[in-house]
Structure 1
Amino acid sequence: MQKLLFRKMSKAIVTVLPLGLLVSVTGCGDNQQAAVQAPPPAVSVYTIKTEEIGRYREFVARTEASKVAELKARVEGELLERRFKEGSLVTQGQVLFKIDPAKYQADLTKARADLHSRQSAAATAKRNLARGQKISKDGFISQSDLDKLDSEASQAESAVKAAEAALEQAELNLSYTTVSAPFDARIGKVTYNVGNIVGPTSGSLAELTVTDPSFVNFQIEEEGYIDYLQRHREFKNPKDIPIDMSIRLPNNQLYKEKGYIDYADTRINEGTGTVELRAVFSNPERIIIPGMFVTLIIETRDKTLTALVPQVAVQTNQQGKFVLVVDESNKVVQRHVELGRRMNAMWAVESGLKQGERVIIEGVQKVRAGIEVMPAERKVDPVTGTIESHEQSGEESGSTDTSSATE
């Protein structure tokens, strides 16, 4: 009986095992097929475009006002008035400060009276000399007395000249109690308030600066400077030299006005092997502020078509800069590139990319070289670097690919 039961159980086990194995094998096959059918990762790509760009160089530079004047008191006295607002524009001849003129008005009155007295004395001495000369012919005056009259007349005339000089100085001192703007400019912060005693040793009352135009000072190595001179020696007017000169501001934006070189130092700095140059930029909106660090960009006008790539697409490894390119088969290719100048949110590419190639700008963390991807075309703002959103893409083919990947 037990043997019969054992045989039946064995048959049941044998019958069940193949069915279990079949189910197990079938399940594994389904999982593998599902893994194979997973869609490629979705990435955003930017199509490379070209732009005409000339040969260029960048220099660290510093801005400077084209005119600076420190307003100082030339006479001592109480500061009575301040006739401007700090930071405002003032015009040539505008009265800015008034110093108490009472003492200098009194000095002027005294100088005028002294001159009048000296002139009267000189007139008397001159008449005495004339009479002495007249009677000396008849022997009524000795030669020594005549010489004395002549000396007195000369001294009186000298005293008049001294009094005239004193009067002129008194007039100047009185005029110095009014401090006016020597030219149109912007005036800075005052260092003395009304009621303070100021004088020649007080230092600056305020500073005037002219920033339109503005100077931009930079240094170039001697080889580059000699090359610049040899290339452009035939140009007498620096504005005619065929180069474009611009500056990148501290906020990384390009300044819209173009400049030109108007000054070069007369000697090479022996310690650095460089020469200091100065560029001039129009500054009507007063964007350029004295003392700013800027990047000076010099570009030739003989331009060539150059590929531009968004900065966000560029990565770095031990071999240098590279981008991830999506080829015609939608496969990822790692491509090393040589970069030139930076143009806002873009890099100029000297080698490694050409027009029409697609580079990955979003989703690089999901891919590696050699795999297939699902690219969606995006646009990049060349100034800000902002990547166009999916909603802005409209009916582009890349949007369809992205939606199918989501499914």
Structure 2
Amino acid sequence: MKTEAVRLYDVKTMKLETFELPEIKKDEILVKVVSNSICMSTYKAVIQGSKHKRVPENIATNPTIMGHEFSGEIIEVGEEWKDQFSPGDKYAIQPALNYKGSPYAPGYSFEFFGGLTTYCVVPREVMELGFLLKYDGESYYEASLSEPMSCIIGGFHSNYHTKTGEYFHYMGIKEGGKMVLFAGAGPMGLGAIDYALNCDRRPGLLVVTDINDERLERARKLFPKEEARKNGVELHFVNPNNMEDSIKGLMDYTDGTGYDDAFVYAPVRPIVEDADKVLAKDGCMNFFAGPSNTAFSAEINFYNIHYTPTHIMGSTGGNADDMIESLEMSSKGLINPAVMLTHVGGINSAIDTILDLPNIPGGKKIAYNEIDMPMTAIEDFAELGKTDPLFKELAAIVDKHNGLWNAEAEKYLLQNGKKRG
């Protein structure tokens, strides 16, 4: 079977090209890939090339398929898995394989397995790990976004707390506690707000900071304080740059006690140091944002670590259970991953989007692999709709859904958008 895919050949060198996939073996599965959301981790792999720990050295002659946040339909099932999967099943992929200690993962390492392609072959290691996940939801974008949502969920599960005199780590955020999300109005922060307000272990106080007033305003509209209060959460959005003393201002929300859980969603030294300063006794800071600078560091108060005791940890990625939780919550309407999504395009737009990802404003970007379309901000649909009937209808659909991408819009695009080839 032929597939069209974005493949990595060298540093900042990708090609969108058509090639033949091998016949699947009895322990493999052939899938159609409908959607792939584009991750900053892909950008990091592209700018490092074979120096990246997940990218093989021989990509110049054996290019790898980009993209790891993807979803679609199963086309053909190898003999070994016919009792578990059937053609037509929708799926999502947990990409953090770590198969027998190997760093290889889809979107970085495989010639015939990745997300920015029309079809691909799911290899045996994915099946052995149980990382091909059935999905019963209506839309594909939610399944694609279940991967970044699983990272958020994994972060919440990774935080821990202690009790004096006991040698145990009590895993998870403090239920009913005080939480702050630094740089929390970006795509991952918005997903974290959604999860914090709707999961079964919620904070009592949630403060979201960001230095961009436009992002904060969008977050306020997506998550009204009144709705948060119905779920037992006191929600505040603040720009630290607008506060005379940001540390005091943040501490005032807690009546001076500090925060039980602090999440850092941007790899910025002053943000890390501020998060450390506002921790409560037994407070846990989660450094979620992965820096590209291997020498990234910040000053931390070790007096507090020793005597309070505060603690600091980092989380990256989620496990299969986190992803299943994300898929189940999405399919039940408990969370809406679309809050993270601000741009939609076709596979033809993926290369330019990846290369320019740090400079494109907004949140997550998703590519539909059978569609030919520029990567387009959802907020621009209405203006484009003045001359383009496709965007006119998409604008009308998203307007019915609080300006968010949704299953109806996805279905319309897949049926009416310009097809590749």
TM-score normalized by structure 1? 0.21
Q: Whose relative contact order is higher, 1 or 2, with alpha carbons under 8 Å and at least 6 apart?
A: 1
Structure whose CA Rg is larger: 1
TM-score normalized by structure 2? 0.20
